[in-house]
Amino acid sequence: MQAGRIDLAREIDAAGLHSLADWLVGFTTLTVPERGIFLVAGPLGASLAGGLGVEDDDDGSHAIEALLRHVGFSSDEAGYMDSRLASGSLFASVTTRDRDILMDAVKVFSDDSAVYIPRAVTSDLAAEAAFRLLEFPPEASTNGNVVVTDVAARFFRYCESGRAGWEYEDARGRQVVDPEGREGGEIVDFIAQTIADGDEPAGRDEVRYAIIAFGGILGISKRHAAIPITQFELGEEPIRINASRDVLRDAPAYDHDTPFSRRVELAVCDYFGAQPYWTNAR
């Protein structure tokens, strides 16, 4: 989807897609030289953002065309789709091993008079790599052909998931105090993501933010803020936050149903003077 010069989270919200954020995974904004700025998602989008099959080709193919050939489209098909995307057309694909699902998708495209290609056979290696990238999306970076300018990590509510350790379960529901001892709000959950780890085949969970609720009357109309976990002293009693109550009350609002992209995260980190976790040495 050609996006122009846009902010990922704002465009998704403006388009009314925020309710689909848990389904349309892998949202990324990227720049493809000589093609423009695109908003992508799903296996194909993750493959393009992650640089799979899009190295410089001897025949001078553009990154998108090279990727489409990499996942099984013919040269003619890939060239056609590349040209249509460059002109601003929307491109949707269905990735499945189930023939019934494939035929249902073809019927939908046909009934809606869409221009479509019935099938491209993707190798197991390319498919596995694409879905791996959906689980562990690339950071904002460049792979030489494509520049990833914004990405929405796959976050989840840590305590709600049932995977939280005792330290976080114990902190949930407790009040936090600012450096002056004033109550700053209640911890309602934590935001975590699963990252790749060579020692853990399924990856490991890393907590990135705490969700704080404050304000409102009798629990109604409370505001929520996502605050970098580095701002908290969870081991202290009471739990302390390294920000004044006034700073906390004016913090950017957090909405679980709105994609929490890198640009939004960076704004939050800047507000609290916290170092973004993705810039830390690994």
Q: What is the pLDDT of residue 236?
A: 87
Task: For strands 239-241 and 175-177, give the pairing.
Answer: parallel
Q: What is the rounded radius of gyration, in angstroms, for the C-alpha atoms of the chain? A: 22
Mean pLDDT of the chain: 81
CA neighbor of 155 nearest in space, from 208, 231, 210: 208
User: Rounded to whole angstroms, how far apart are CA atoms 90 and 44?
Assistant: 13
Q: 111-125, 136-150, 239-253: lowest mean pLDDT where?
A: 136-150
CA neighbor of 38 nearest in space, from 74, 81, 79, 102: 81
Interval 23-71: pLDDT, tens: 467 778 888 877 888 888 888 888 888 877 665 455 556 788 888 998 9
> Does residue 64 sit in helix, strand or coil?
helix
Which stretch, 121-135, 159-173, 199-213, 246-260, has highest mean pLDDT?
Answer: 159-173
Domain limits, the chain: 8-151, 155-279
| Amino acid in position 214 | F
Mean local confidence (pLDDT), 218-241: 86
Q: What is the pLDDT of residue 259?
A: 72
CA neighbor of 212 nearest in space, from 257, 248, 262: 248
Q: What is the pLDDT of residue 58?
A: 53
Q: What is the pLDDT of residue 85?
A: 86
CA neighbor of 126 nearest in space, from 199, 63, 50: 50
* Number of Cβ within a 10 Å radius of residue 28: 26
DSSP 165-183: -HHHHHHTT-EEE-TTS-E
Q: Which fold has domain 155-279?
A: SH3 type barrels. (2.30.30)
CA neighbor of 240 nearest in space, from 167, 184, 197, 195: 184
Q: 58-72, 132-146, 268-282: lowest mean pLDDT where?
A: 132-146
What letters, b where the CB count within 10 A reaches 16 and e where it falls short, cover 84-110? ebbeeeebebbbeeeeeeeeebbeebe
Q: What is the pLDDT of residue 5?
A: 43
| Amino acid in position 271 | Y
Split at pLDDT 50, 70, 90, the class of 139 is low
Report field, pTM of the whole predicted structure over 0.75: no
Alpha helices per DSSP H over 25-181: 42-50, 63-70, 75-86, 99-111, 124-135, 158-161, 166-171
CA neighbor of 73 nearest in space, from 40, 104, 88, 95: 95
Query: Is residue 158 pLDDT above 60, yes or no?
Result: yes
